[in-house]
């Protein structure tokens, strides 16, 4: 019933957006303010500028829209690679729902993520969160729970060490922080909601994680594609008050196996050719390397339309 209700919502949105037209394609994203909404908006603008009529189709989270891309109710989506492969195989929070029609279009810049607190708070390190009210639950976005545990594990903590503040999604988690219900919130660096929270509370601090082999191993116990990156302060990184290290992991644009090779070829070319345009719309695209769009995605497979482009661009080595 839940799947049918979600499907009906998306179908209505797609009809309103002109999906009946063969020239229009959709990109599924999370809610406004989220990293995936920012990415999808930038990609859609670049695609429209290139003549591929494209609209974004927001939902709460990839939990909801990955199955809809699998059913070919929307042609494209953006998400992280680990969740994509969980959906593909029907594992973790997709248990019992195998989404075998999902295909890779291309890898894009990694998500760099942190727990943010007020800059004026006495919480200076991730370890200082112990015993504090912290966002949890994520009933509509279950991918966040192992990410939280991965961050906590770098300092020997877990979600059980916090006072849980129940929220359905990352956007709702940021709202709970702004409202003073939680001392912190988890979000991707550079997302619109992070900037909103920064302005709303008079400044935020991104809590760093250790850059040690022990911390990296702890991350992989909860989020196997996670790794550690260094970030510097700057206008594109609100909350990064000094050089530090944070968790990161791959993200991608994906599609359905039944989408035409021509459409997927065109979207792949848009991504490859449009870094400057996408960066202007969403600054974290500065980290996007078009030549790294082909990478290790197993068990996820690339769509034939994407492979066709990569062969022409001399990126396909298979």
Instruction: Determine the Cα angle at 225 with ends 128 and 290, to 5°.
Output: 115
Cβ density class 188-225: b for 16+ within 10 Å, e for less = bbbbbbbebbbeebeebbbbbbbeeeebbebbeebbeb
In the beta sheet, which residues pair with residue 253? 78, 106
pLDDT of residue 2 exceeding 70, the answer is no
Residues of the chain above pLDDT 90, percent: 85
Q: How many residues does the chain have?
A: 318
In the numeric block, which tokens belong to residue 108? 């894009």
Give the confidence band of 317 by pLDDT, cuts at 50, 70, 90: confident
pLDDT at site 23:
64
The whole-model pTM stands at: 0.85
List Cα–Cα distances, 87 to 70, 102, 176, 192, in angstroms: 9, 8, 28, 26
pLDDT at position 14: 38
Beta-strand ranges (E) seen in 96-146 are 102-107, 111-118, 133-137
- Local confidence band at 236 (pLDDT 50, 70, 90 cut-offs): confident
The SS3 of residue 28 is: strand
pLDDT score at 271: 98
pLDDT by residue (tens digit) across 187-209? Answer: 999 899 999 999 999 999 999 99
Digit-coded pLDDT (tens) for 244-278: 999 999 999 999 999 999 999 999 999 999 999 99
Whether the per-residue pLDDT at 94 is higher than 50: the answer is: yes
Q: How far is CA 109 from the centre of its chain?
A: 10
pLDDT band at 128 (very low <50, low <70, confident <90, very high): very high
Q: Are 133 and 159 spatial neighbours (Cβ–Cβ below 8 Å)?
A: no
Q: Where are the alpha helices (DSSP H) in the chain?
A: 2-16, 35-49, 62-70, 81-89, 144-153, 170-178, 192-200, 213-222, 261-273, 275-281, 304-312
Determine the Cα–Cα distance for residues 119 and 241; give it in Å rounded to an integer: 9
Range in 7-11, 130-134, 287-291 the model is least confident about:
7-11
pLDDT for 15 equals: 34
Q: Using the CB atoms, write b or e for 43-71: b if 16+ within 10 Å.
A: bbbbbeeeebebbbbbbbbbbbbbbbbbe
In the predicted model, is pLDDT for residue 308 greater than 60? Answer: yes
Q: What domains sit in the chain, N to C, each tagged with a CATH number?
A: 2-110+250-312 (3.40.190.10), 111-249 (3.40.190.10)
Q: Could you give the CA distance from residue 190 to residue 34 in angstroms, rounded to a whole number?
A: 10
Question: Tell me, what's the pLDDT at 300?
Answer: 96
Q: Mean pLDDT across the stretch 8-24?
A: 42
Would the pLDDT of 50 be above 60? yes
CA 34 to chain centroid: 8
The pLDDT value given to residue 318: 72
The percent of residues in the chain predicted with pLDDT above 70, rounded, is 93
Residue 112 pairs in a beta bridge with: 248
Q: Which residue has the higher pLDDT, 12 or 289?
A: 289
Mean pLDDT, all residues of the chain: 91
Per-residue pLDDT at 265? 98
The token pair that represents 10 in the structure block? 């998306």
Report the pLDDT value the prediction gives residue 7, as an integer from 0 to 100: 37
How many Å apart are CA 55 and CA 36, to the nearest integer? 14
């Amino acid at each position: 019933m839940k799947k049918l209700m979600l499907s009906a919502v998306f179908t209505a949105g797609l009809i309103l957006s002109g999906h009946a037209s063969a020239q229009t394609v959709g990109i599924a994203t999370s809610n406004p303010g989220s990293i995936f909404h920012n990415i999808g908006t930038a990609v859609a603008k670049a695609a429209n500028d290139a003549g591929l009529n494209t609209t974004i189709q927001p939902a709460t989270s990839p939990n909801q829209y990955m199955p809809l891309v699998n059913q070919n109710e929307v042609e494209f989506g953006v998400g992280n690679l680990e969740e994509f492969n969980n959906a593909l195989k029907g594992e973790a929070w997709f248990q019992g729902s195998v989404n075998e029609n999902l295909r890779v279009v291309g890898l894009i810049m990694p998500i760099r993520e942190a727990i943010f607190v007020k800059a004026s708070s006495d919480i200076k390190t991730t370890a200082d969160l112990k015993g504090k009210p912290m966002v949890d639950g994520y009933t509509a976005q279950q991918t966040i729970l192992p990410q939280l545990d991965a961050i906590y594990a770098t300092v020997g903590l877990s979600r059980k060490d916090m006072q849980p503040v129940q929220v359905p999604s990352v956007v709702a988690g940021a709202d709970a922080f702004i409202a003073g219900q939680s001392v912190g919130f988890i979000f991707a660096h550079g997302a619109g909601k992070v900037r909103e929270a920064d302005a709303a509370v008079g400044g935020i601090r991104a809590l760093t994680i250790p850059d040690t082999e022990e911390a990296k191993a702890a991350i992989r116990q909860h989020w196997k594609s996670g790794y550690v990156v260094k970030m510097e302060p700057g206008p594109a990184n609100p909350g990064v008050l000094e050089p530090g290290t944070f968790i990161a992991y791959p993200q991608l644009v994906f599609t359905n196996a039944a989408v035409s090779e021509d459409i997927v070829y065109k979207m792949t070319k848009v991504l490859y050719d449009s870094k400057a345009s996408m960066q202007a719309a969403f600054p974290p695209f500065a980290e996007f390397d078009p030549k790294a769009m082909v990478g290790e995605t197993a068990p996820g497979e690339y769509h034939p339309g994407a492979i066709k482009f990569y062969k022409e661009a001399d990126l396909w080595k298979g």
